[in-house]
Chain A
Amino acid sequence: MSVFPYIVAGWLLLVGLWGIVTSRHLVHLVICLSVMQSSTYVLLLAVGYRHGAKAPIFADIPSGTQVVDPVVQALTLTDVVVEATVAALLLALAVQAQKRFGTVDPDELGALRG
């Protein structure tokens, strides 16, 4: 199955989105966003993969060896860092929501403010 990893990425995106839409708890919502973002890791790494190629670390393999794409791996690294910090910021917002409105249910939050 040459498209299977891409399907996994698409599935993660959709299932995370489903979780966000139906979420009843802000922490759960942040976790669902993390699931969505992990789809980009799978997609990036899958795009850069080559059969039989080594990791792009030339510390112990001769130069000229076929390696997988280092660019998408660097992008994934960026992605992971941004995801972690965004999750921290959103969780801090969830703490504030709990303090200020006494609830972390997104539905009730909308009602309170409206």
Chain B
Amino acid sequence: MSRRARLALFLPAALVLAVGLLWSFADLPPFGHYSGIYGIVLGHVAVAQREATNVVSAVTFDYRGVDTLGEEFILFAAAVGSAILLRAQRGEDAAGAAAERSDRRADVVARPVRALGAALVAPTIVLGAYIIAHGQLTPGGGFQGGVILASAAVLVYASGQYLAVRVVRGVAPIEIADALGAAGFALIAVGGLVFGLAALHNFLGYGISGSLFSAGIIPLANVAVGVEVAGGVTLIVAEFLDQALMRRRSG
């Protein structure tokens, strides 16, 4: 189809869509006057029922945990899919050559960049762990903290130590982390069944709200998701970096 024909087809359709959207927006409750019952109820009962002060976490990992289970496997499948696609045309020798090449790269990266990158790795890991551990208390949780942990691996790369990333990566560890995180959350989900309750039932003691070990399975689920996200994102980033290094080598 020519571009002109495609536009001619798109514009009327977009117009209809725009009119439909406007029409439906007119019937939404006015902005700032939310009146949905679920949000209001959860705002009142979440702390009392689950001892979790971060209600968003309580919804994500407890009340609507089944959504998160699905989301988590989307993440897992996408990470594995990206890795398979990017590895499809790459032999192990090519990857080795890329690593060799990056050894020389270590000399190319400016010293201040390397120093700053290396200095930021440890604080980034601590921050990621903190965000994961306090997921049920304050804004944060497994997804956010996991991405922060993955960015620590990127910092290692930015400071020119791609070899170190390879050792950390070494094919296995981050993939195992990815799989363990996914399996961990699935196990937590079936944990309720073990105790004769429903799947994803919050089967642990709730503790006292505001303490690190409160809200039952929510912190555990945060850790599982954090490990999985850190592994998955690092895997995706590492595969794309391999591609970039191979390109530079051949180009």
Contact surface of A with B, Cβ cutoff 8 Å: 1-7, 10, 13-14, 17-18, 21-22, 46-51, 53, 55-59, 63-64, 66-75, 77-78, 80-82, 85-86, 88-89, 91-93, 95-96, 99, 107
Contacts and interface: CB of A to CB of B under 8 A. Distances in A.
A49 B31 contact: yes
14 contacts: A3-B26, A56-B43, A57-B55, A57-B138, A71-B59, A75-B67, A77-B141, A82-B74, A88-B79, A88-B236, A92-B86, A95-B85, A96-B85, A107-B3
B25 A10 contact: yes
A71 B26 contact: no
Nearest to B86: A92
B159 to A, nearest CB: 23
A6 to B, nearest CB: 4
Mostly, the B contact residues are: helix
A73 B63 CA distance: 13
Nearest to A46: B31
* Residue of B7, B18, B32, B40 with most partner-chain A CB within 10 A: B32
Contact of A14 (B17, B29, B139): B17
B143 A81 contact: yes
Interface of B: 3, 6-7, 10, 14, 17-18, 21-22, 25-26, 28-34, 36, 38-40, 42-44, 46-48, 53-56, 58-60, 64, 67-68, 71, 74-75, 78-79, 81-82, 85-86, 88-89, 137-139, 141, 143, 209-210, 229, 232, 236, 239-240, 243
B53 A57 contact: yes
Across the A-B interface, the 9 shortest Cβ-Cβ residue pairs:
A69-B39, A2-B30, A85-B78, A56-B55, A51-B32, A74-B59, A6-B25, A70-B55, A92-B85
